[in-house]
């Protein structure tokens, strides 16, 4: 069975071909970083326009690289939400058009659940139950998976996502966009304890995340210490900020474990590319004697292979009749509101 996956939820146009027998045959990702960099963040209207221009070529390239025709595709999978509504609609409408033309089934998948599948795709033998962190520019969530495809949300961010906080601090210092990778590079060699940040803690014992307080604390430290992009203290400051972001993510995971005994832990999403977070997560998993998985850096950021992978699993679990094309199928911008 071959699956064509399509992902356009934010600012990457991506298409991939996944073979059930041979794995990922192609995974084309066209980034829009150059479009949004001058604004220090994603501009939704520009993102959807760029998706419209790019989607046809990206899908063709995914088929070409995989050396298959559209006729050889058995299943279509597309991100339905959450994400930017205009961006989502481009991928969804394109996928509906292909499903209508080819008469193949179309599976809509959730973007955050697809990030988790990036780890499972590369580590198929991972045991369940599992705890999965999805840490990206739009989301910071903790899930408990009793078994494959059974997603229970334990916590979400109440304000900014972790990647968003990194992006905003980088923007404030004029370091460029996206902020996460720039901060990682400039923090190299900095002392992570140089600036005293304290990790946010929920007063109601919930497993939700919050990063807006940390962002505000960071902006105050920048002002009080007159930190600029050229100052000598920059590496220490960025290392300290990176460290507290990593610590607050892992503290939630540690607090979830006693009530949710997992055999494996997963770290997914764009921020999971971060070397400090990866190292601290790995250390935590080893200390707890848990199996663990972090996708390869390319599979951490938005890509369509993870969409195809989850689409195939949902199809196998529910059967073809559940995924006959419905023109009612709609995109959903916010978490947990699938429709159609």
Q: How far is the CB of 21 from Zn ion (least distance, A)?
A: 27
> Which two tokens mark 41?
């963040």
Q: Are 31 and 58 in contact (CB under 8 A)?
A: no
Decide if 282 contacts 294 (C-beta within 8 A): yes
The interface with Zn ion within residues 292-311 (CB under 5 A) comprises 302
Q: Report the nearest approach of Zn ion to the CB of residue 300 (Å).
A: 9
Compare residues 117 and 302 and give the one whose CB is closer to Zn ion. 302
Neighbour count for residue 257 (Cβ, 10 Å): 14
φ, ψ of residue 184 to 5 degrees: the values are -55, -45
The residue among 74 and 251 lying less far from ligand KG4, judged by its C-beta, is: 251
Give start and end residues of each alpha helix (H) in 196-329.
Answer: 212-224, 234-256, 275-287, 297-300, 304-318
Q: Which two tokens stand for residue 14?
A: 């991506």
Q: Applying CB under 5 A, does 136 fall inside the site for Zn ion?
A: yes
Q: Two tokens at 100?
A: 């209508």
Q: Which is nearer to Zn ion, 112 or 130 (CB)?
A: 112
- Cα–Cα distance, 279 to 263 (Å, whole number): 19
Whether 264 contacts 123, CB under 8 Å: no
179 binds, among Zn ion, ligand KG4, none (CB under 5 to 8 A by kind): ligand KG4
Residue number, 42 or 130, with CB nearest to ligand KG4: 42
Binding mask of the shown chain, residues 93 to 112, with x at each position contacting ligand KG4 by CB under 6 A = --------------------
- Is 163 a binding residue for ligand KG4 by CB under 6 A? The answer is yes
Residue 5's binding partner, choosing from ligand KG4, Zn ion, none, with beta-carbon cut-off 5 to 8 A by kind? none
Among the listed residues 303, 319, 255, the one whose alpha carbon sits nearest the alpha carbon of residue 79: 303
Cβ atoms of residues 16 and 62 within 8 Å? yes
Per-residue contact track with ligand KG4, 244 to 283, x per CB under 6 A?
-------------------------xxx-xx---------
For the purposes of burial, counting CB atoms within 10 Å of the CB of 296, is it exposed (0-12), middle (13-18) or buried (19 or more)? exposed
Minimum separation from the CB atom of position 181 to ligand KG4 (A):
4
Q: What's the CA gap between 275 and 71, in Å, rounded? A: 41
What mask of x and - would describe binding to Zn ion in positions 204 to 243, judged by CB under 5 A?
----------------------------------------
Residue pair 96/80 in contact by the 8 Å Cβ criterion: no
Does residue 155 interact with ligand KG4 by CB under 6 A? no
Q: Which of 3, 4, 6, 10 binds ligand KG4 (CB under 6 A)?
A: 10
Stretch that binds ligand KG4, among 55-63, 174-182, 219-227, 287-295 (CB under 6 A): 174-182
Find out whether 173 and 229 touch, Cβ atoms under 8 Å. yes
Shortest Å distance, C-beta 10 to ligand KG4 = 5
Looking at 136-144, 225-233, 242-250, 321-329, which segment touches Zn ion (CB under 5 A)? Answer: 136-144
- Taking CB under 6 A as the criterion, which residues in 117-146 touch ligand KG4? 136-138
Radius of gyration of the chain (CA): 20
Contact footprint for Zn ion (CB under 5 A): 136, 302
Residues that bind ligand KG4 in the complex, under the rule CB under 6 A: 10, 136-138, 163, 166-167, 178-181, 184, 269-271, 273-274, 301-302
């Amino acid at each position: 069975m071959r699956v064509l996956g399509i992902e356009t939820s934010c600012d990457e146009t991506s298409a991939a071909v996944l073979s059930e027998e041979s794995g990922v045959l192609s995974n084309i990702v066209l980034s829009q970083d150059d479009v949004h960099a001058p604004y220090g963040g994603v501009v939704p209207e520009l993102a959807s326009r760029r998706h419209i221009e790019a989607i046809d070529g990206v899908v063709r390239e995914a088929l070409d690289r995989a050396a298959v025709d559209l006729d050889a595709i058995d299943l279509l999978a597309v991100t339905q939400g959450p994400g930017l509504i205009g961006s989502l609609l481009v991928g969804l409408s394109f996928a509906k058009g292909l499903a209508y033309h080819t008469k193949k089934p179309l599976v809509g998948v959730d973007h955050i659940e697809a990030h988790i599948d990036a780890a499972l795709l590369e580590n198929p033998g991972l045991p369940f139950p599992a705890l999965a962190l999805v840490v990206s520019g739009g989301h910071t969530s903790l899930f408990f998976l009793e078994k494959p495809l059974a997603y229970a949300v334990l916590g979400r961010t109440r304000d900014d996502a972790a990647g968003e906080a990194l992006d905003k601090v980088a923007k404030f210092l004029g370091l460029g966009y996206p902020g996460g990778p720039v901060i990682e590079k400039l923090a190299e060699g900095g002392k992570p304890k140089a600036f005293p940040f304290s990790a946010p803690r929920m007063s109601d014992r919930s497993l939700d995340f919050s990063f807006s307080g940390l962002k505000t604390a960071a902006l105050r430290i920048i002002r009080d210490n007159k930190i600029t992009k050229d100052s000598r203290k920059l590496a220490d400051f960025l290392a300290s900020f990176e460290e507290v972001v990593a610590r607050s993510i892992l503290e939630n995971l540690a607090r979830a474990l006693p009530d949710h005994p997992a055999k494996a832990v997963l770290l997914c999403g764009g921020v999971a590319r971060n070397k400090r977070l990866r190292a601290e997560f790995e250390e935590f998993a080893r200390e707890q004697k848990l199996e663990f998985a972090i996708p390869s850096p390319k599979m951490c950021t938005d890509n369509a292979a993870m969409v195809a992978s989850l689409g195939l699993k949902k199809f196998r679990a529910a059967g073809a009749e559940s995924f006959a094309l419905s023109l009612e199928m709609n995109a959903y911008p916010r978490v947990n509101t699938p429709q159609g």
